Structure 1
Amino acid sequence: MTQRRNPRRHPDEVDVPVDLVRRLVDEQFPAWRGRRLEPLPGRGTVNAVFALTGPVGEDLLVRLPLRAEAAAGLDAERAAAHELRGRTRFATPEVVATGEPWEGFPFGWTVLRLLPGTPADGVDTAASEGLARDLAEFVGAVRAMPLHGRRFSGTGRGGDLHRHDAWVAECLQRSGGLLDVAALQALWSKFRTLPHVSADVVTHGDLVPGNLLLDDAGRLGAVLDVGGLGPTDPALDLLAAWHLFDGPAREVFRRACGAEGLDWVRGQAWAFVQAVGLVWYYADSHPGMSSLGTRTLARVLQDPLV
């Protein structure tokens, strides 16, 4: 029987049933035909993710874009994975093969080394000061990477906050009954005017809990989903402080990052921008992501920095 992802998370996503993925793997990589293929429905929002089980130490991860927008970023994602690999002491994605569009699936896709660990979105990290230090170390190592003359592209998070006015307005309009819209609107009116003064550095760009894998001791072991790696506002990666930590651990993260003044406040603003879109958008299709947005915004409202 054909299996499909349900419910749909995006109106324009394609179906990626497991039997289709089995055919793609078997046709394009016959050496892996005997491996067990298992969907990992909680491991992606714009990709369908499957474990491809092999001999000990050779497990793989199959990632297939659900939308044309995600497929368009595959080349950048491969380049970012190559650029980041070995630049920190934490494991990061390694692309081992690239698949082609095939009958029933219109996009390119990738096979990566499966990294061990427990996704942080399934763990209570609120008081994890050790994780806060680890994550700050990762942020610092990424910031130290050379820019190679690159500058912020001008799209997505990481530039001027006020460019997100329309998106925030839409999110708040759709969040009636889900959030304290009036309080969030008042806070955004202050966030949006924060000036962008710090020079660009390399950032990961999406340090949400689901992109962090923890070891058995609850410390950071690996960082996933590196397609957003590139030059942006150095405050962008600071948004992880509100996604992951309550006050004391958040302060440990701030000190370890050396974040002061305007950069720290803009980090809170970027956490707001990302979180406000998660609550309503994933309310039905991915309750975990919606809950992350709600929790992050509650932390921001409890301790507003503007």
Structure 2
Amino acid sequence: MRTPKMHDDELDVDVPLVRRLLARQFPHWADLPLERVASTGTVNALFRLGPTMAVRLPLTPRFADDVARERRMLRLLTGRLPVPVPTVLGRGEPAGAYPLPWSVTDWLPGEPPREGRLADPEGLADQLAALVRAFRSLTLPDATPAYRGGPLAVDDAAIRASLGRIDALGLPVDTRAATEAWEASLAAPPPEGPPVWAHADLMPSNLLVAGGRLAAVLDVATAGLADPACDLVPAWNLLPPGARDRFRAAVGVDDATWLRGRGKALAMALPQLPYYHETNPGIAANARHVIAQVLADHARGGPFP
């Protein structure tokens, strides 16, 4: 399966390459069925290996350091969350035409949820809230900052540049309203307490559901200490308005944290839309959904106009 490249420095990763890597490093798995999995993921190429395993390879050298971080996080998080995380079964090393570390994990059942196609939005809201609360309750050694876990002001220049790119590309976004919504979140008071543990990238592509229930959480290399607003993004990237309110109540969020969370969702979606609008339709569609949901919430008003 040939897929369009999303990044200028993206490596060529395909089934023959993965077979060569397996034959050299894990020959006992080399003859198992192997196929590339269609995914909206932007960091790793994903392959299914036999019925019970997955192979994950970073797409660019920029993501190479995530491999060791994720392996550590998976080890720390196993058994501490209400849903499973993958288990590392093989630690692949750079070899031949592939210069980066890579991993073999178990294959967790389920599929990424889709905005607008949830079997039980209210139930999923409760399960996501339980996941967020579980992250927040963690006390783990050698904690480091989470990806995207800092204040919104860090992203301000990039967000304004993304708004300019959206206008230049003629994408259907009300960038004036998006600017107002972004500035409203920037104006929200900062966290009153210390940072908490967060996944920090709860995109639909990093979740699995099965039978309408949350079944697993993936891609935990981003986890670490963060603003408590950081893990509220599923409220806008996945949940409809009624379930969004239920999620907020179940997590227990004040107005300022909620508004910063809305800004976090916007800070992810606004850069994603112009960057992936041609190469990753799934991510681009979710970005448009997030922007629409945030702007609708902003239009209804709030404590920090």
Which TM-score bucket, shorter chain as reference? over 0.9
Judged with a 3 Å threshold, the aligned counterparts in structure 2 of structure 1 residues 52 and 280 are, in CA distance, closer, same or farther, namely same
TM-score, with length taken from structure 2: 0.93
Specify the code of the residue in structure 2 equivalent to 1:219.
Answer: R
Judged with a 3 Å threshold, the aligned counterparts in structure 2 of structure 1 residues 89 and 186 are, in CA distance, closer, same or farther, namely closer
2:6 aligned residue: 9
1:242 aligned residue: 236
Percent pairwise identity: 40
| Contact 2:9 2:60 (8 Å CA) reproduced | yes
| Contact 1:162 1:192 (8 Å CA) reproduced | yes
| Contact 2:186 2:260 (8 Å CA) reproduced | no
Moved more, 265-274 or 139-148: 139-148
Residue 168 of structure 2 is aligned to residue 171 of structure 1: no
- Which structure features the higher share of helix residues? 2
Moved more, 38-47 or 188-197: 188-197
Residue 292 of structure 2 is aligned to residue 298 of structure 1: yes
Alpha-carbon deviation of 1:272? 0.7
| Contact 1:191 1:266 (8 Å CA) reproduced | yes
Q: Secondary structure at the match of 1:121?
A: coil
1:83 aligned residue: 76
Hey, what's the Cα distance between the residues in 1 that align with 2:36 and 2:195?
Answer: 38
Hey, what's the Cα distance between the residues in 1 that align with 2:144 and 2:278?
Answer: 37
Gaps of 5+ in 1: none
Q: How many residue pairs get matched?
A: 296
Specify the code of the residue in structure 2 equivalent to 1:245.
Answer: L
2:30 aligned residue: 33
Moved >4 Å (runs of 4+): none
| Contact 1:93 1:226 (8 Å CA) reproduced | no
Hey, what's the Cα distance between the residues in 1 that align with 2:114 and 2:15?
Answer: 24
Gaps of 5+ in 2: none
Matches within 5 A, 1:24-173: 24-42=21-39, 44-54=41-51, 59-121=52-114, 124-125=117-118, 128-148=121-141, 150=143, 152=145, 156-173=147-164
Residue 257 of structure 2 is aligned to residue 263 of structure 1: yes
Judged with a 3 Å threshold, the aligned counterparts in structure 2 of structure 1 residues 122 and 235 are, in CA distance, closer, same or farther, namely closer
Hey, what's the Cα distance between the residues in 2 that align with 1:65 and 1:236?
Answer: 24
Hey, what's the Cα distance between the residues in 2 that align with 1:194 and 1:127?
Answer: 32
| Contact 2:14 2:36 (8 Å CA) reproduced | no
Judged with a 3 Å threshold, the aligned counterparts in structure 2 of structure 1 residues 151 and 18 are, in CA distance, closer, same or farther, namely closer
Residue 222 of structure 2 is aligned to residue 231 of structure 1: no
Alpha-carbon deviation of 1:182? 1.2
Q: Secondary structure at the match of 2:118?
A: coil
| Contact 1:175 1:279 (8 Å CA) reproduced | yes
Hey, what's the Cα distance between the residues in 1 that align with 2:228 and 2:237?
Answer: 17
Hey, what's the Cα distance between the residues in 2 that align with 1:11 and 1:123?
Answer: 32
Q: CA RMSD in A?
A: 1.7
Hey, what's the Cα distance between the residues in 2 that align with 1:122 and 1:42?
Answer: 15
1:212 aligned residue: 207
Specify the code of the residue in structure 1 equivalent to 2:80.
Answer: R
Hey, what's the Cα distance between the residues in 1 that align with 2:79 and 2:55?
Answer: 22
Q: Secondary structure at the match of 1:241?
A: helix
Moved more, 118-127 or 21-30: 118-127
Alpha-carbon deviation of 1:159? 1.2
Specify the code of the residue in structure 2 equivalent to 1:210.
Answer: S
Matches within 5 A, 1:176-195: 176=167, 177-178=170-171, 179-195=173-189
Judged with a 3 Å threshold, the aligned counterparts in structure 2 of structure 1 residues 122 and 241 are, in CA distance, closer, same or farther, namely closer
Cα deviation per residue 1:135-161 (whole Å; 9 max; x = unaligned)? 1001111110005463536xx412111
Judged with a 3 Å threshold, the aligned counterparts in structure 2 of structure 1 residues 127 and 262 are, in CA distance, closer, same or farther, namely farther
Hey, what's the Cα distance between the residues in 1 that align with 2:198 and 2:68?
Answer: 18
